[in-house]
Amino acid sequence: MGTMTVSPKVNSSTRDSAGRWYQFYAMFSDEFAIQAIEQASLAANSTILDPWLGVGTTASAAVSMGHRIVGADINPVAMVISRGRFATRDALLMKASAISDWILNEPGDSIRNSSDPLSAWFHHAPAKTLRLWQKKITNDIPLDELSPEQCFMLTTLFEVAASLSQPASRSKNPTWRKRPNPDERVKSSKKAVCNMVLQCAEKRVLKLSDATSQSKHHLMVADSRCLPIQPDSIDFVLTSPPYCTRIDYAITTRVESAVLGVDDQLLRDVRERSMGTSTIRGQIQCAEATWGEECSSLMDKVSSHPSRHSQTYYLKTFLQYFSDLQKSLSDVDRCLKPNGKAAIVVQDSYYKELHIDLPKILEQMASFLSWEHTQTQSFPVHRSMRSLNAKSRKYRTNARTTESVLWFRKSSLKD
């Protein structure tokens, strides 16, 4: 197997590049996804799985290289963004212009819909304008039936809403979108919002590939622990699960969720079901044998740590995370063909001074599935969530973070 030369991380020089499909805290670089698929040495027209879609970098790379992609994410925003990458350029801008004309000529009213999720971020005019765009784009079609072209337009709307709300919702933590105070909500005119959408659509069209195949991609809202995928149907898995850092990705995309009309209850549901969430959804008593010795040892250390809430809240979040990871890997194993390959990107982290060796934990979990660990490729991470937390210096002064690409091959033998 070859040596990976490209880091999975999008570096600071390319994170805000005009060529990026969507700005998101956690995402692969396009170059990494392409090189990983090349390194897998797949037969033509293979089927690739990404059970944590994110913004669809794996999906785009797979289709561009002539393969089929099956992708899932529990967050509907991620599915929309990923599916939008496969829109065809024909008539997109004409459609956007027609929607803009209709909205600008739509009679105004004085009714304030305070129950609209957008009203938490925007005053009446921009909230109503964004909602009219969303309604005209989707035509009340169920989310899982939206075309790539509709998803493209929604992604454009996401970008505009996120850009407009950024000054009011910015926080020190780049993964947390705080709701503004009522008097800080964004004000903007109907015309200004429409112009932003049209300008964004013009720029975004240039990011689309020249040709896409509708039969090459199947992207859906689904739980990585119970994927609606046929057994033994996947040739290669290229993915990255949420890291063990308690990043709440549902909150990261809460403005985009508001564009979709996701209310507080639905957002709470997505948060609670998401892997790596900071909320507790159930009671898990202890580590299981199938999590491996490294994980069991870590859980013992967390439960006996003298810091506040270690034995309660933090232990529960860790137990929940590793339970989700093991269940997800088990279901990926069900989907993967015998002799199928997997490349999984993870990052180590720390709880207080305790090292969370997620690569080692993942390797041990995979061994219970009869996956052969064939290679690990590691890359230093110069900026991580740990570096943003000044309080972490109390426990350690020089704890470097490493991102690892673990390669596996599933056994050819069946139980």
CB 232 within 8 A of CB 222: no
For the four alpha carbons of 118, 124, 129 and 132, in that order, the dihedral sign comes to: positive
Tracing tokens 């919002």 back to the chain, one arrives at: 193
Q: Strands 336-347 and 217-221: what pairing? A: unpaired
The CATH architecture annotation of domain 1-86+232-237 reads 3-Layer(aba) Sandwich (3.40)
Lowest mean pLDDT among 9-13, 276-280, 344-348: 9-13
Give the CB-side neighbour count of residue 370, counting CA atoms within 13 A: 13
Whole-number Å distance between alpha carbons of 386 and 351: 10
Tracing tokens 């890997």 back to the chain, one arrives at: 329
- Which residue, among 23, 47, 7, has the nearest Cα to 238 in the 3D structure? 47
Q: What is the mean pLDDT of residues 305-313?
A: 94
Q: What is the mean pLDDT of residues 262-285?
A: 89
Query: What's the per-residue H, E or C state across 303-367?
Result: HCCCCCCHHHHHHHHHHHHHHHHHHHHHHHHHHEEEEEEEEEEEECEEECCEEECHHHHHHHHHH
- Give the distance between the most distant pair of CA atoms in the chain: 67
Tell me the residue length of the chain.
415
**pLDDT classification of 16: cutoffs 50, 70, 90:** very low
Mean pLDDT for the chain?
89
CA angle 153, 139, 109 (to 5 degrees): 95
- pLDDT at position 175 is 62
**pLDDT classification of 6: cutoffs 50, 70, 90:** confident
Displacement of CA 64 from its chain's centroid (Å): 20
CB 298 within 8 A of CB 369: no
Question: Could you tell me the residue ranges of all domains in the chain?
Answer: 1-86+232-237, 92-205
- In sequence order, what are the beta bridge partners of 344? 239, 406
Digit-coded pLDDT (tens) for 56-110: 999 999 999 999 999 999 999 999 999 999 999 999 999 999 999 999 998 766 5
Check pLDDT > 70 for residue 190: yes
Displacement of CA 63 from its chain's centroid (Å): 19
- pLDDT at position 43 is 97
Whether pTM exceeds 0.85: yes
Q: What is the mean pLDDT of residues 14-31?
A: 72
- pLDDT at position 173 is 59
Check pLDDT > 80 for residue 400: no
- In sequence order, what are the beta bridge partners of 237? 49, 342
Q: What is the mean pLDDT of residues 275-302?
A: 92
